[in-house]
Structure 1
């Protein structure tokens, strides 16, 4: 049995979908608040409704599981969690519970740029979780994905539906490495099944694009529109001023400023050559058919 923590989120849902197709038995741990659990006819799986804020929930969730996929994150939550409470504290509770329950291997989703001295709180929280897992005594695989492509496409496209504009945070000129959800899920599947991967930290990216490239692709796919740009000075203000009423917007502004520095770009071909079995899905596939 494999526990998928955050199994109803964007990435977790794709992971469980792939597991179901492969006939892999799994258990989903989620609160079930923001996203519904999948239908029961979608595979051999169990549901555990619980919270990473509860040590007892974490311990019950891992019982009987040989492997765990930690795909939960507080970055995209508009309420009910933050990178501190989910990506660090929740991960630490889950790692402790998995260790106590005798779990043999944990696949942890992390982020490119995770470091103790990273410029964003999110990346520092991810690094703390990585270090806890490495020192747990369990087998581990850490997947440091780059910025989630579908999340940015969704956020950028939202104003298009109501005002005919696509949102671009910052200059939009700086290259950024993005990871598609499908690629990240495929890498999770490989980490679960390949005995050579425990003990590795994998940096993964599907492709390199500027936000202006994403905006142009969205406009072309949607049949036209305009760009609504939030300049860098405004992002600096938003990263602080938005915290009390919209922590998510503040996190997005902070992430955009980090991207503006160029630190979010790296060459994805290094790891893609190491894992040629991952069928790369990039911008065109992630956009989907034209509406």
Structure 2
């Protein structure tokens, strides 16, 4: 049995599908708040309503499992936070898994994760990485870039509603994105390939600027213009919004980090090591999607 934590989220659903297609038994742990539980589950899939804040729920989730995929995140959820999910929840789940005799944990992380990272999210991811490394279990840490589908939805939904695409800062800073399908493919590969045990791999799909993403959205829609938020305003928002909207503050903080150019990374060597895993870039995601607000 493989436990997928956050299995109803954007990435988790893609992992679930690949595992079910491969004939694996899957247990999904989720709160059912940010994403509703499916009305019907595929054969071989067990759904567990559980909260990472509960040690008892974590113990229940890992019971009888041999492998765990941690794909949950509190970054993009307004009623949660990276400290609750990506740090404390991840650590709580890892400890429960080790105590239950789980053999292997695949921990989803982020490029730039470090104890002294410039934003809290990256520091939380570093703490989760440390926990799984020191757990005594086999582990794989998959560091990805910003999810391409999520960014397209964030930028594309206002285009559909108002004819404008929001761009933080200059829009010229390179950002390495990872598509959901690419991230899910490397997770499933890590579960079956011993070569990926006890190592960190950085997995990207395409490096783009926000201006390039906006132009691609305009080309698909046949119209639109950029609504630019100056870099100085983004920096101010990352600080001023903290007391009344931690969610808005961390989104703005991520924008400041991306504007620095640090969100771009070299993913060619990892891709060269596993050339059989397809690359899903911007145009492929746009071609496969429907309306801007329906990107999955």
Question: 1:136 maps to which residue?
Answer: 135
Shift of 1:283: 0.3
Residue by residue over 1:185-206, the C-alpha shift from the partner in whole angstroms, topping out at 9 and shown as x without a partner, is 0000100111221101001110
Question: 2:93 maps to which residue?
Answer: 94
Quickly say closer, same or farther: Cα 1:155–1:23, change in 2 above 3 A.
Answer: same
Native 8 Å contact 1:221 1:289 kept in 2: no
DSSP 3-state at the match of 1:208: strand
TM (normalized to structure 2)? Answer: 0.95
Q: How does 1:17-96 map to 2 (within 5 A)?
A: 17-79=17-79, 81-96=80-95
Q: Distance in 2 between matches of 1:289 and 1:16?
A: 19
Is 1:245–2:244 an aligned residue pair? yes
Shift of 1:158: 2.2
TM (normalized to structure 1)? Answer: 0.97
Q: C-alpha root-mean-square deviation of aligned residues, in Å?
A: 1.2
Q: Distance in 2 between matches of 1:74 and 1:20?
A: 25
Is 1:210–2:209 an aligned residue pair? yes
Residue by residue over 1:107-129, the C-alpha shift from the partner in whole angstroms, topping out at 9 and shown as x without a partner, is 00000000011100000000000
Residue by residue over 1:191-231, the C-alpha shift from the partner in whole angstroms, topping out at 9 and shown as x without a partner, is 01112211010011101100100011111112211110111
Shift of 1:290: 6.1
Paired positions, count: 290
DSSP 3-state at the match of 1:158: helix
Q: Distance in 2 between matches of 1:170 and 1:220?
A: 22
Q: Distance in 2 between matches of 1:241 and 1:134?
A: 36
Question: 1:286 maps to which residue?
Answer: 285
Native 8 Å contact 1:52 1:94 kept in 2: yes
Q: Distance in 2 between matches of 1:238 and 1:250?
A: 6
Q: Distance in 1 between matches of 2:260 and 2:163?
A: 29
Deviates more, 1:218-227 or 1:31-40: 31-40
Question: 2:294 maps to which residue?
Answer: none
Is 1:220–2:219 an aligned residue pair? yes
Shift of 1:39: 4.4
Quickly say closer, same or farther: Cα 1:290–1:66, change in 2 above 3 A.
Answer: closer
Shift of 1:149: 0.9
Deviates more, 1:129-138 or 1:40-49: 40-49
Deviates more, 1:103-112 or 1:266-275: 266-275
Q: Distance in 2 between matches of 1:211 and 1:12?
A: 25
Question: Which 5+ residue runs of structure 2 have no aligned equivalent?
Answer: 292-296
Shift of 1:285: 1.6
Q: Distance in 2 between matches of 1:14 and 1:129?
A: 22
Q: Distance in 1 between matches of 2:39 and 2:16?
A: 12
Question: 2:262 maps to which residue?
Answer: 263
Q: How does 1:59-208 map to 2 (within 5 A)?
A: 59-79=59-79, 81-208=80-207
Is 1:7–2:7 an aligned residue pair? yes
